[in-house]
Amino acid sequence: MYNVLFHRLKGFNGWSSWPARTVLDVQRITGMWTYTRKIRIFDRDKKYELTLEYYYPQTEFIYTQTTHVITARYQTEQDMLDDVKQIHDKQEKIKLIAQKLVETK
């Protein structure tokens, strides 16, 4: 079940403060965007970037930021698209499991 619920990106760190190889809960990923990097001052060999919108509530302070942006850079477009497909497939599997649980009640 661990492989269905969580995913570790295969890309390299982008500009976000979150490390790209953090283990992510796929249910908390609310948006995904892929880009071809036009300006590459740093990491010139990594042409592609995946940006994730990640829901992660914090309750330590009065101001709570609930959505974070995570970026990962890739050398090839296929590597980036593989990560996108794996995340999407895992999200679909979780939806199917949830539907089966509702139907069995």
For 23-41, how does the pLDDT look when each residue is reduced to its tens digit (9 = 90+)? 888 988 999 999 998 887 8
Residue (of 60, 48, 54) closest to 18 by Cα position: 54
Q: How confident is the model at residue 59 (pLDDT cuts 50, 70, 90)?
A: low
Q: Is the pLDDT of residue 18 over 80?
A: no
pTM: 0.80
Q: Where are the beta strands (DSSP E) in the chain?
A: 6-8, 12-13, 23-25, 29-36, 48-55, 67-74
More confident call, 9 vs 17: 9
CATH number at residue 31: 2.30.29
Count the alpha carbons within 13 Å of 48 in the hemisphere toward its beta carbon. Answer: 16
Q: How confident is the model at residue 105 (pLDDT cuts 50, 70, 90)?
A: low
Domain that holds residue 50: 2-103
Under a CB-based contact definition with an 8 Å cutoff, are residues 70 and 28 in contact? Answer: no
Q: How many domains does the chain have?
A: 1
Place of tokens 């593989």: 82
